[in-house]
């Protein structure tokens, strides 16, 4: 364990940027000032994160055996409960901190150009910096409770950024939906933390000594003092490790948009495009994967929970992919693609391939941030149009955006040597060989899950090819009339913000108003400025070569890499070693059959490439000549999942709340009691008021009557005693 006080600078630099932009940027209203502050503070975080991860303390956190810690203060200490405001960077949080700050900086730079001219410029970057503070707190926290503070913080910032345009009803509803669905998941995380403390007496991630007091980690206690739960449904409700793991996964389904809490993320595209790239592609939505992998020691002792994680991940992956193939909004295609890719990550974690899940988190951050920012560049160049049916042949007008997005397209499809190939192929192989990686030694249905993942991989190539074809190939459809449009100039627009020309024409309107404007006569798309294309080029490079750090052993000799799977070796100490008898036998069996395993993995890798190429060819065959091909209505309507939720959950609860709880119980019962007491007091007052007539003779008569009554009482009582 080493102490490094620079660790706190990683989280507090973005917080300082948020405060400066809110308190000073709001007064200055200077875009250069706000942009420099926002990007500069993230740059500071990135430099410090890379320094601690690679260089500090003789090799950095990514090579050290023990985490780098920074204890700021003791937050709560009651009895044997202790929660420190302390940070820790081990190999897992170090990887997260590096790619979050690096990709986050590129997105901040892109946003400076994208948000130019927006009247809420300073406010946007204050929210964006606040989000970075929360996300970095989440992944650098050294205990569950502080992690939950960051977890809630990113939920709040997501609400603020999705609903950034407060006068747009779509944005308000999407923000509210994201907030509510995340709160449902957050309940699971909180209950899981309570249960883990009850079981282990700790909430710490790391063994450490603070103020002379030894603090043991949750995971050390689990490994040394607990045994694996049985693979049964009853284990979910037994109040043990399986229950805690399932509760944590409930939280992960909310934050990472898995079934059943997935519908908020596509609606979140109502926020500005840089928000989609940062929060809903590279960082916040991967927090659920981080939680599961961080708690891998718990999950390895909870086989039922792992099986649930794998099944939900696979189901989400194919469900979202079928929806993505029928969407016409370029951001909605990428949104459902994100949900699908998150399903792949959970599938990997569920079959025990935790390092592969994080590997895909990293490669996905590169190519999905690239694709989202590329879509923002397309929207910017298309006068804020985002319906792909109104695009076509944009490669002629936006060559840099086209080439860079093509790199992201090949990466997500899984074409060698692009980054997505290595991580996606490893997920497919680990799923196929789940028996070897599943801690209990037996994983029911791994072949079926592999089949689902394989079909999803093909669908991914098809819908991403459809998106590229509709956007960059074919004929120009900038002024075509779409079904339901009143005239040729009508257009569905992305009202993320209005450019300077539009603001000049609408000085009497706030920039947050929703103005549906037509494409100008003779309109031609244009390439985005360098401040937007430069991040695209960097991300395209990373999407191309970023996967080489995780080349599997079976393919390392084929691509000329001597040291196989550097990424997996780096993360090995973070993944708890399973010492159960079945796990030991599985490991020994794998070592004895290594040549056969290598051959099988290579065959599956070849099959993976064939599936990717087949999907791309099928996409071109279906959509190159018919880009407006009609898709199944049920897929366009997203399997009517929102309608199902509204009809069977939201609306009944709303009616119950309004008619029974509000009108019946609150107004009828509670208000009835309060109002009844008030009415009784008023009537009693009216009755007594009648005695106050204002005449002295009346009051004298009342006093006389009262005196006679008292005298009469005493006479009666005296006679009774004498008798």
Assess whether 702 and 604 both reside in one domain. no
120-147 pLDDT, tens digit per residue, is 999 999 999 999 999 999 999 999 999 9
Q: What is the pLDDT of residue 190?
A: 95
Q: What is the pLDDT of residue 328?
A: 93
Decide the pairing of beta strands 213-215 and 81-89: unpaired
Region 31-52: mean pLDDT is 95
Q: What is the pLDDT of residue 295?
A: 94
Residue 515 above 60 pLDDT? no
Q: What is the pLDDT of residue 383?
A: 86
**What is the total count of domains within the chain?**
2
Task: Name which of 61-70, 319-328, 533-542 the model is least confident about.
Answer: 61-70
Residue 514 above 50 pLDDT? no
504 belongs to a structural domain: no
Provide DSSP, 201-235: S--BSS-EEETTEEE--HHHHHHHH--PPPSSGGG
Domain limits at 406?
Answer: 2-483+526-636
Instruction: Tell me the C-alpha distance between 571 and 23, whole Å.
Output: 41
Region 420-424: mean pLDDT is 91
Q: What is the pLDDT of residue 296?
A: 93
Q: What is the pLDDT of residue 599?
A: 81
Give this prediction's pTM: 0.88
Task: Name which of 151-155, 255-259, 600-604 the model is least confident about.
Answer: 600-604
Q: What number of helices (H) and strands (E) belong to the chain? A: 32, 5
Give the rounded percent of residues in the chain with a pLDDT score beyond 90.
59
244-292 pLDDT, tens digit per residue, is 999 999 999 999 999 999 999 999 988 898 998 888 777 888 999 999 9
E strand map for 496-553: none
Is residue 663 very low, low, confident or very high in pLDDT (cuts 50, 70, 90)?
Answer: confident
Q: Which long-range contacts (CB under 8 A, 24 or more apart) does 403-407 make?
A: 403/540, 404/370, 404/374, 404/533, 404/536, 404/537, 404/539, 404/540, 405/370, 405/371, 405/374, 405/375, 405/378, 405/468, 405/472, 405/536, 406/468, 406/472, 407/367, 407/370, 407/540, 407/541, 407/543, 407/544
Mean pLDDT score across all residues of the chain: 87
593 belongs to a structural domain: yes
Instruction: Tell me the C-alpha distance between 588 and 54, whole Å.
Output: 34
Q: What is the pLDDT of residue 82?
A: 87
Instruction: Tell me the C-alpha distance between 548 and 557, whole Å.
Output: 12
Contact between residue 623 and residue 470 where contact means Cβ atoms under 8 Å apart: yes
Assess whether 703 and 558 both reside in one domain. no
Assess whether 280 and 423 both reside in one domain. yes
Q: How many residues does the chain have?
A: 723
687 belongs to a structural domain: no
Q: What is the pLDDT of residue 552?
A: 80
Domain ends where: 636, 657, 672?
Answer: 636
Contact between residue 193 and residue 203 where contact means Cβ atoms under 8 Å apart: yes
Q: What is the pLDDT of residue 488?
A: 38
Most confident of 383-387, 553-557, 579-583: 383-387
547 belongs to a structural domain: yes
509 belongs to a structural domain: no
Assess whether 465 and 564 both reside in one domain. yes
Assess whether 334 and 466 both reside in one domain. yes
Region 15-32: mean pLDDT is 93
Contact between residue 387 and residue 491 where contact means Cβ atoms under 8 Å apart: yes
Residue in 141, 157, 230, 122 with CA at minimum distance from that of residue 189: 141
Contact between residue 248 and residue 320 where contact means Cβ atoms under 8 Å apart: no
Give the rounded percent of residues in the chain with a pLDDT score beyond 70.
89
387 belongs to a structural domain: yes
Residue in 470, 336, 403, 603 with CA at minimum distance from that of residue 611: 603
Instruction: Tell me the C-alpha distance between 496 and 164, whole Å.
Output: 9
What are the distances in angstroms from CA 640 to CA 50, 327, 403, 645? 45, 13, 35, 9
């Amino acid at each position: 364990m080493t102490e490094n006080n620079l660790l706190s600078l990683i989280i507090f630099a973005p917080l300082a940027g948020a405060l400066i932009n809110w308190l000073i940027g709001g007064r200055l209203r200077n875009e250069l000032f706000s942009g420099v502050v926002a990007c500069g503070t993230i740059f500071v975080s990135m430099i410090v994160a890379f320094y601690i991860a690679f260089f500090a303390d003789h090799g950095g956190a990514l090579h050290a055996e023990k985490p780098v810690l920074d204890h700021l203060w003791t937050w709560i200490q009651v009895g044997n409960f202790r929660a420190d405001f302390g940070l820790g960077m081990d190999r897992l949080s170090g990887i997260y901190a590096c790619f979050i700050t690096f990709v986050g900086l590129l997105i901040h730079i892109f946003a400076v150009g994208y948000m130019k001219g927006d009247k809420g410029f300073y406010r946007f970057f204050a929210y964006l910096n606040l989000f970075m503070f929360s996300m970095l707190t989440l992944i650098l926290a050294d205990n569950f409770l502080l992690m939950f503070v960051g977890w809630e913080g990113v939920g709040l910032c997501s609400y603020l950024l999705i609903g950034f345009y407060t006068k747009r009803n779509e944005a308000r509803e999407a923000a509210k939906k994201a907030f509510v669905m995340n709160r449902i998941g957050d309940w699971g995380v909180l209950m899981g933390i309570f249960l883990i403390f009850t079981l282990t007496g700790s909430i710490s991630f790391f063994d450490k000594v603070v103020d002379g007091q030894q603090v043991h980690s949750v995971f050390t206690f689990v490994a040394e003092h607990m045994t694996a739960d049985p693979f049964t449904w009853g284990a979910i409700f037994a109040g043990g490790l399986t229950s805690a793991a399932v509760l944590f996964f409930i939280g992960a389904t909310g934050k990472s948009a898995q079934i059943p809490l997935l519908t908020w993320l596509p609606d979140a595209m109502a926020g500005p495009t840089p928000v989609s790239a940062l929060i809903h592609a590279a960082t916040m939505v991967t927090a659920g994967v981080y939680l599961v992998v961080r708690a891998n020691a718990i999950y390895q002792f909870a086989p039922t929970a792992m099986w649930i994680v794998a099944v939900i991940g696979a189901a989400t992956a194919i469900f979202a992919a079928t929806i993505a193939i029928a969407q016409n909004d370029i951001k909605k295609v990428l949104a459902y693609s994100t949900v699908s890719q998150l399903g792949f990550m959970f599938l990997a974690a569920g079959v025990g391939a935790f390092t592969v899940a994080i590997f895909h988190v990293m490669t996905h951050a590169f190519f999905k941030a690239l694709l989202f920012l590329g879509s923002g560049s397309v929207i910017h160049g298309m006068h804020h149009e985002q319906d792909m049916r109104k695009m076509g042949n944009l490669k002629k007008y936006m060559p840099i955006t086209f080439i860079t997005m093509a790199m992201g397209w090949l990466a997500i499809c899984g074409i060698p040597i692009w980054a997505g190939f290595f991580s996606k192929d490893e997920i497919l192989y680990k799923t196929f060989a789940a028996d070897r990686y599943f801690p209990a030694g037996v994983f029911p249905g791994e072949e079926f899950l592999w089949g689902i993942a394989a079909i999803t991989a093909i669908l991914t190539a098809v819908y991403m090819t459809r998106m590229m074809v509709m956007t960059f190939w074919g004929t120009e459809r900038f002024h075509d009339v779409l079904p339901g449009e009143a005239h040729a100039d009508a257009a569905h627009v992305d009202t993320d913000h209005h450019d300077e020309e539009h603001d000049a024409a609408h000085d009497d309107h706030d920039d947050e108003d929703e103005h549906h404007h037509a494409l100008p006569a003779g309109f031609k798309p244009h390439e985005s400025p360098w401040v937007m294309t430069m991040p695209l080029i960097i991300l395209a490079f990373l999407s191309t070569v970023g996967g080489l750090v995780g080349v599997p052993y079976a393919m390392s000799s084929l691509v000329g890499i001597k040291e196989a799977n550097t990424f997996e070796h780096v993360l090995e100490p973070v993944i708890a070693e399973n010492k159960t008898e079945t796990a030991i036998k599985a490991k020994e069996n794998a070592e004895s059959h290594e040549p056969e395993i290598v051959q099988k993995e290579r065959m599956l890798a070849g099959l993976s490439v064939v599936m990717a190429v087949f999907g791309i060819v099928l996409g071109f065959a279906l959509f190159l000549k018919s880009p407006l091909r009609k898709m199944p209505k049920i897929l366009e309507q997203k399997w009517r999942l929102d309608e199902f939720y509204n009809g069977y959950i939201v609306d009944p609860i709303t009616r119950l709340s309004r008619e029974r709880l509000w009108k019946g119980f609150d107004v009828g019962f509670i208000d009835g009691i309060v109002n009844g007491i008030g009415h009784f007091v008023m009537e009693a007052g009216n009755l007594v008021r009648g005695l106050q007539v204002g005449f002295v003779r009346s009051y004298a008569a009342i006093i006389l009557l009262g005196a006679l009554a008292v005298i009469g009482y005493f006479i009666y009582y005296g006679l009774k005693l004498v008798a």
